[in-house]
Structure 1
Amino acid sequence: MQMRVVDNTVSNIRDKVSAEEWAVRVDLAACYRLVGYYGWDDLVFTHISARVPGTHDFLINPYGLMFDEMTASNLVRVDLSGKKTLDSPYEINPAGYTIHSAIHEAREDAGCVLHLHTMEGVAVSCQKAGVLPISQQASIVVQSLSYHDYEGIALNPEEKVRLQANLGDTRHLMLRNHGLLTVGRTVPDAFLAMFTFQRACEIQVLAQGHGAELIQIPQSVLDTVPGYTKAVMRGAGSALTWPALLRRMDKVDPGYRN
């Protein structure tokens, strides 16, 4: 039986925050657990953030905890300068702060920012051509995709302006030689965008591995996709998938709600 340590220093957070913030905390903790469930985590070294409603503060993971240890209560609340705005015994990942503060600062619609180092995502990020339009999933991703060149571990605050410029108003950002990032109005939106992004990379790596000549989707077909993505990737799709994903988590790993 797996044993978890209960940290009493964060057990009363629910009494200190608004109902709206608590709901975002629950969704964000579930998102961390889902990333772990799908095997997309990289020990403690990636990060997901969500804006606190009505503020420019954001919630992010305590540095050093595994993703299956994330709870609604132990997420750390910081402002855009990285200062904690609610008492917490935990610190945050400095590179995570650089990336997430840059995007929350530049994008008012960035309710959630999700960044991963999956094997397939990093593999495609190393390819000069990036995401190839060879699957239905990729046809969705390429409609709102940008690229940011690798500058080393994200500890240089001067990189923030280049991150912001490269991201622009897109929903998917490929960090060259590094990994994947998605932006969503909500946690469910960002997760669905990442699921599609990650699946496109998995398919691409698998297809390339067999050495067969790949068929790219014609531009005339890609041009028909934006109407679908506008409806499905910005709210409608996550409204269907997120309740089902929470039901899955409630069956296999319900501790995220604590």
Structure 2
Amino acid sequence: MTTNEPSTEQDLRKAEWQVRTELAAAYRLVALFGWDDLVFTHLSARVPGPDHHFLINPYGLLFHEITASSLVKVDQEGQVVEAAGLGRVNPAGFTIHSAVHMGRDDAGAVMHLHAPDGVAVSAHRDGLLPLSQTAMLCLDHLCYHEYEGVALNLDERDRLIRDLGNRSMMILRNHGVLTAGKDVPETFTYLYFLMKACEIQVKAQSCGPTHLPSEQAIRTTADQSQQLGMAAKLTWPALIRLLDSKNPGYAV
């Protein structure tokens, strides 16, 4: 054994705790924004290191109850590697999240919601429309996946990752929304923009006929959206301050 090995293990544990803390914060932020669905839906993050493990919520806790230590570590076969309390995970959550973590090396985190406005837009014939600046910032990052039933069939993973391609946002038809990014802050930032775009669309369409911007404006905004994930450098610290003032205690 070399003298560097314990230090490397210590560094990996420190990095894992950072990811655990950020993911627990994301769960509580989802609850704070009213996007949760009892104990259903799921957020996940890749564990630093060579083992291809990821963290996901224990099936049975409400999102506002999630802490860093309560998150369950699983492998790509869905086997629990480490759990401090509840050790069961949502099978549908495993199918969706393992697909993205296995198929996208750049996906450090994956977030999936059933929030009503997201589901409403997923069921709309035309999907997400360029009705707002927020939506237009999302469109170039967005893709779609057709509904196949509750995601219990592992064969669906191939089709889901095929449809996701290299995009960061996905509308799961008649189901909900999904985002993927390099880490938790970036992925949550994508999620916020996508959910806000869906909320605006539902409100706009409830008011009557809508106005669409010009194709040139849509293309310009798409070009301007290419660095959207970088907004996390500003949004995530602000979100953590908000969470610390509303629902602290996640980093235990």
TM-score, scaled relative to structure 1: 0.90
Q: How far apart in 2 are the matches of 1:133 and 1:227?
A: 14
Q: After TM superposition, give the deviation of residue 16 of structure 1 in Å.
A: 11
Within a 5 Å distance, the mapping from 1:178-193 to structure 2 comes to 178-193=175-190
- Equivalent residue for 2:210? 214
1:36 deviates by 0.2
- Aligned with residue 238 of structure 1, among 210, 214, 232: 232
Answering whether residue 39 of structure 2 is matched by residue 44 of structure 1, we say yes
Superposed displacement of residue 228, structure 1: 2.9
Report matched runs for 1:89-108 at 5 Å: 89=85, 90-108=87-105
Matched, 1:132 2:126: no
Shift of 1:252: 1.4
Partner of 1:253: 247
Q: 1:87 to 1:41 in 2, by over 3 A?
A: closer
Measured against aligned partners, the alpha-carbon deviations of 1:17-71 in whole angstroms (never above 9, x if no partner) come to 6110000000000000000000000000100000011232110000000001100
Name the CA distance, whole Å, in 2 between partners of 1:120 and 1:87: 33
1:207-246, Cα deviation, whole Å (9 max, x unpaired): 11111x2111222112222443222x222x1011111111
What letter is aligned with 2:67?
Answer: T
Match of 1:198 in 2: 195
8 Å CA contact retained: 2:136, 2:222: no
Is 2:119 the partner of 1:122? yes
Conserved? CA contact 2:71–2:83, under 8 Å? no
Q: 1:17 to 1:68 in 2, by over 3 A?
A: farther
1:71 aligns with 2:89: no
Distance 1:196 1:29 in 2: 20
* Shift in Å, 1:248: 1.2
Match of 1:156 among 150, 153, 159: 153
Listed as ranges, the gaps of 5+ residues in structure 1 are 1-14
Which whole-Å CA distance do the structure 2 matches of 1:252 and 1:46 have between them? Answer: 22
Partner of 1:81: 77
TM-score by length of 2: 0.92
Percentage of identical aligned residues? 50
Deviation at 1:198, TM superposition (A): 0.6
SS of 1:251's equivalent?
A: helix
Question: How well do the aligned residues superpose, as a CA RMSD in angstroms?
Answer: 1.4
SS in structure 1 of the partner of residue 21 of structure 2:
helix
Equivalent residue number for residue 48 of structure 2: 53
- 1:26 alignment partner AA: T
SS of corresponding position for 1:45: coil
Q: Distance in 2 between matches of 1:131 and 1:207?
A: 12
Match of 2:6 in 1: none
Moved over 3 A (4+): none
Answer whether contact 2:122 2:175 (CA < 8 A) is retained.
Answer: yes
